[in-house]
Structure 1
């Protein structure tokens, strides 16, 4: 009787064992910092200087991710109301200090106006010199008229941009507070139950409703006036559409856990593109 002996080459056999071990290893994600049972959530931020518009984007959503005022991005790219953008369009993101209103850094509009004014001054220097005396006589009256109009405009602007009433978007315990740190929480997180009502914190218009912003899940952004926006993230169901007008306290979504690991509402308020602490505006409990 002949016994056959099968022998594996030593080196290939060891390599096979190592490969099998690697395949059976449990690949777990990196640990996430938690506060109690609630995980710390991170949100995708736009850091590039040029952004190519994708399907589902709005100018307001892009500005939100970039941490810029939508008016600044519009002015920087010469986009006029109603701020229509197109898939594939490349938008330049203005530097942080850019200000379309002309205060601080010089805006594109003001640069163009300055060039026009310089040309006009050069072409009409002689004509202006001939009217110097006349302007001096009229100056006191003009100054008085300008002061009255400036005061009137200032009062109108304050009244237009003032939000008389902010309301809590939902009920529940605050599990994450606002932080001014670079990677800190840009709003507050409120714990709750799935399908719990989420309501508009003030009157306004829905300028974004979707799930294209990484980390926010199903998100709603409401424009309240030229200065203030608010956002409601991680919803299970969106109950309003873009361009829809909403009233303070109106039901806009149902709470959920999209884009995160637990049921919560992430709520933000931004003033001219900058994150502010919502607790400064919401009624004290």
Structure 2
């Protein structure tokens, strides 16, 4: 079990705010760390890893105190990163270019048997003698993942590790993460903005807003069981509205996809190119309405 009751003052685009967490995470699961940019997600991971020191609080992992500092007192416990048994994978691969794939893993630990087991698990055993310059982006990310697991970490921290990959490679690596979680039983915390990734991988989502955990729930409750009369609802941006016979067609960008939605003249009066909108459906008829601040904004995750 991870107990993280931590505080850290941060500087954001809107000024100073306090990152404050009071959360308990069970061992062996996969937890998504979501929320808008600048809300404290990466800093939270860095505090867990020992790369950033909290201003005060308690961090306890499987009964061992990794950090403790009471208000107004000196730090009592602050284990160094190498003492914490934490694996970390960021967007950058940070592989040693002059070493082979196997050499990169053995740099973390000299356990050759473990290295080959992990390379086999992520499907790279046949490339163990290759150098990073000869690998694709997805292969490099798998090497970085395997290297992070070399010291049998209690926690694996992933900061948007799949965001730069194409959809097919992203799907493959998601499957690899599920395999790692199942076979090694390692607790995984992953920062992601991808709702489908959260749903596929995670059993829990911590939604950060300006340093606070605004929601602590399951992906299903967050994305599927929301209180709405619509069968689906996605936030997008209107790129174009054009007249076609007696109706209008709105071209809406939703993520990397473009959709065309028919709107009537009354709806068109309140909409223009550049508007943020909600595209949904009622009784299988698509609807478009202007996005309001009260709407749950999935795009900010």
Verify same fold: TM over 0.5: no
Higher strand share: 2
Taking structure 2 as the reference length, the TM-score comes to: 0.24
Greater Cα radius of gyration, structure 1 or 2: 1
Which of structures 1 and 2 has the larger relative contact order (alpha carbons within 8 angstroms, sep 6+)?
Answer: 2
In the superposition, the TM-score normalised over structure 1's length comes to: 0.25
